[in-house]
Amino acid sequence: MSLSTVNYAARALRLRLPRVCVAITGEDAAEMVDKAEAVIRENPFIEFRLDYLKNPAAVFPRIKKLFEYRPDAIAVATCRRANSGGRFKGSIAAQIEVLTKAAAAGCQIIDLEIETAEGLKAAEYEKLRNQVTVLQLSYHDFKGTRKLEESFERMRKHPADFYKLISTATNLHDNVVMMKFLQQTSDHHFMVGHCMGEQGIISRVLSVRAGSVYTFGAAQAGEETGPGQVTMRELRDVYRIENVDAVTKVFGVVGDPIAQSLSPYTMNTAFRRENVHGVFVRLHARKMDDLMACVREIPIHGLSVTMPYKQEIVPHLHNSDVWTQQTGACNTVVRGQDGRLFGFNTDVAGVLVPLEEHVSLDGAKALVLGAGGAARAAVFGLKSRGAEIFILNRTPQTAQALARKAGAKCIKRTDLARMEFDVIINATPVGMGNPKQSPLEEKELRTKVVFDMVYTPYETRLLKMARAQNLIAISGVEMFVAQGARQFEIWTGKPAPVEEMRQEVFRQLGERPLPATPAAVQRAILQAQSAARAEDEAREREAEQLEHKPIAAPAPKSAPAKAVAATPARAAVKAPPVKAVAAKPAAAKAVAVKAAPAKAPAKAATKAVAKKAAVKPAKPARKAGKKK
């Protein structure tokens, strides 16, 4: 059925639909409706998964009552049979009975899978269409994204208002296939489509701009009804799906694995804060060729590259910055308007920025654990600051190759017992996801600063041991935020909202930030800062006194002379002292000239005062003599 033959109710409903339909499940009727009521407060578009109930008929009175006081709600009723990927074990007739009762209870859209439609007679199918407001015909491929056009032709034999075609992404390019299919068909039909699975997140977010009427989200984590389904809040608040359109720029973080990455949270927070019309998604790439095809055809404007592709992506770059060339590793890619790729390495900034807040690196002895992409960034970054670098790696050959290139030294694990360092950096994944693992033992932490690049968990075993010894302990969160902020600035040309990005990381980790510097060291630093401030203030007071001294010095000597001149009677009584005062103007003049040669106006004023003091007192002295 084309758009020209779609019924009026379907057309009107299409205009009211939000972009996210939230799937509602439950153990019983009461739980299902309670969940629906809670979700409708945030998102008025829901799907009742009736096949999750043992007795679907028990829920219809509650659904009817729900629509009575929430007439704005829009609901899809789904009762998928087991042979179509659902949980309903009844017959086709029983399934149709459940769906018609759902429509009578107020559900505006009835979802019917193609397998059931093909099992109905033409008259039965037409009768069902007349009993529902909107009929949505659906097809699910749980094994891959294959022959979408053929599957759609199979569906078109059965007229429907909406056509829903869901596949499974086995690689990133499957998302491209799905979105191209939606672009081709959505001009003539109301289409709903995306890819399931972890690799299908791109199409779950971007399908709405390719032509899908809506996409699906879970009510909350743990209640997913399909592989790779994300929550409604994540779709709305993190990916801002209501704002995604044809001109939205797409960015992503690529790696294998990638599910643990917090980059989508920090980057989308930064985009929202700085009004960047973009969206940042996870890209689970198992092969580099698959990733490159995805970058070209979506297209993707910027990539954050993580393990294991930091070195593998370098040959695909058309140009790169100095750090990428030196380290041989790239963690940031920009796609030009002409499709060319440019590489940057912001891991170097991620290492140096947190370290230089706590320690001077010039001449410092630094131990780097590891020899991969992150370790290379640490080594060359430290080298640029004049540090003496030592490398310890599980595979000596890799460490030796890096040491030769960077002018560093390789050491063995046994050497740690007799060596001391200013900084120890863990650039290995040891400790990631496992708080019991550590690359070093407590007795081997012969250093002042410990920097662990791992940020999940927030406080690794390595950092706990460092804090126990009152060492400066820097979490991988600081590197993650610093390098991400630099990526944001490269992609957008705007200053990164660093503090908002850091707060988002801690919110996702469910942690409160701990000070990198231990309490004892902090107290010593504060005392030193206080002493330095007191010393600076003393210098300023001394300088101020010296600056004002030349002007204030002559005043006491000239003032008495003025007083004598103003009162002749008093001057007559004290005639001898006046002579003495009159004899000293030259000395006062000399002092003024010697003390402040740079201040000509003050010197001139001093001369005038001295001259006046020398001349005027003489007249009262002569008058006193005549009276005698």
Boundary of a domain, candidates 189, 216, 246: 246
Q: Is residue 523 part of a domain?
A: no
Confirm whether pTM is higher than 0.85: no
**pLDDT at residue 522 in the model:** 56
Residue 618 clears pLDDT 70, i.e. is over it: no
Residue 82 clears pLDDT 90, i.e. is over it: yes
Which of 35, 101, 164, 310 is catalytic? The answer is 310
Task: Tell me which of 594 and 129 has the higher pLDDT.
Answer: 129
Q: What is the per-residue pLDDT across 348-398, written as a single tens digit (0 to 9) for each?
A: 999 999 999 999 999 999 999 999 889 999 999 999 999 999 999 999 999
Q: Is residue 65 part of a domain?
A: yes
Boundary of a domain, candidates 246, 278, 297: 246
Boundary of a domain, candidates 195, 222, 246: 246
**pLDDT at residue 575 in the model:** 41
Rounded mean pLDDT, 57-85: 96
What are φ and ψ of residue 398, in 5° steps?
A: -65, -40
Query: Token digits for 520?
Result: 């004892």
Residues in the chain: 628
For residues 572 and 620, the answer to whether their CB atoms sit within 8 Å is: yes
For residues 581 and 609, the answer to whether their CB atoms sit within 8 Å is: no
**pLDDT at residue 541 in the model:** 83
Q: What is the per-residue pLDDT across 189-232, written as a single tens digit (0 to 9) for each?
A: 999 999 999 999 999 999 999 999 999 999 999 999 999 999 99
The residue type at 167? S
Q: What is the per-residue pLDDT across 318-329, written as a single tens digit (0 to 9) for each?
A: 999 999 999 999
Burial 77-100 (b: 16+ CB within 10 A, else e): bbbbbeebbbbbeeeeeebbebbb
The C-alpha atoms of residue 424 and residue 470 are separated, in whole angstroms, by 14
Rounded mean pLDDT, 411-427: 95
Residue 527 clears pLDDT 80, i.e. is over it: no
CATH number at residue 77: 3.20.20.70
**pLDDT at residue 519 in the model:** 56
**pLDDT at residue 373 in the model:** 85
For residues 369 and 398, the answer to whether their CB atoms sit within 8 Å is: no
Label residue 2 by pLDDT band (50, 70, 90): low
Q: Is residue 266 part of a domain?
A: no
Residue 97 clears pLDDT 50, i.e. is over it: yes
Q: What is the per-residue pLDDT across 563-590, written as a single tens digit (0 to 9) for each?
A: 444 444 343 334 444 444 444 444 434 3
Q: What is the per-residue pLDDT across 100-125, written as a single tens digit (0 to 9) for each?
A: 999 999 999 999 999 999 999 999 99
The C-alpha atoms of residue 610 and residue 586 are separated, in whole angstroms, by 8
Q: Is residue 559 part of a domain?
A: yes
For 517, the 3-state DSSP assignment is: coil
Query: Is 310 a known active-site residue?
Result: yes
Average pLDDT along the chain: 87
pLDDT > 70 in the chain, percent: 84
The C-alpha atoms of residue 624 and residue 423 are separated, in whole angstroms, by 88
Domains identified in the chain, total number = 2
Label residue 606 by pLDDT band (50, 70, 90): very low
Q: Is residue 92 part of a domain?
A: yes
Q: Is residue 319 part of a domain?
A: no
Question: 599 lies in which domain range?
Answer: 553-627
**Residues contacting 55, CB < 8 A, separation 6+:** 29
Q: Is residue 82 part of a domain?
A: yes
**pLDDT at residue 524 in the model:** 62
Residue 132 clears pLDDT 50, i.e. is over it: yes
Task: Tell me which of 311 and 627 has the higher pLDDT.
Answer: 311
The C-alpha atoms of residue 238 and residue 381 are separated, in whole angstroms, by 33
Rounded mean pLDDT, 417-445: 94
- CA distances in angstroms from 440 to 222, 449, 463, listed in the order given: 36, 14, 11
Which is nearest to 604 in space by CA: 559, 567, 550? 550
Helix residue spans in 370-497 (DSSP H): 373-384, 396-406, 461-468, 476-492
Task: Tell me which of 532 and 158 has the higher pLDDT.
Answer: 158
Residue 26 clears pLDDT 80, i.e. is over it: yes
Angle of helix 600-615 relative to helix 575-582, nearest 10 degrees, comes to: 140
Residue 25 clears pLDDT 60, i.e. is over it: yes
Label residue 54 by pLDDT band (50, 70, 90): very high
Angle at 25 between CA 258 and CA 101, to 5 degrees: 140
**pLDDT at residue 360 in the model:** 94
Residue 613 clears pLDDT 80, i.e. is over it: no
Q: Is residue 482 part of a domain?
A: no
The residue type at 224? E
**pLDDT at residue 558 in the model:** 47
**pLDDT at residue 525 in the model:** 59
**pLDDT at residue 628 in the model:** 37
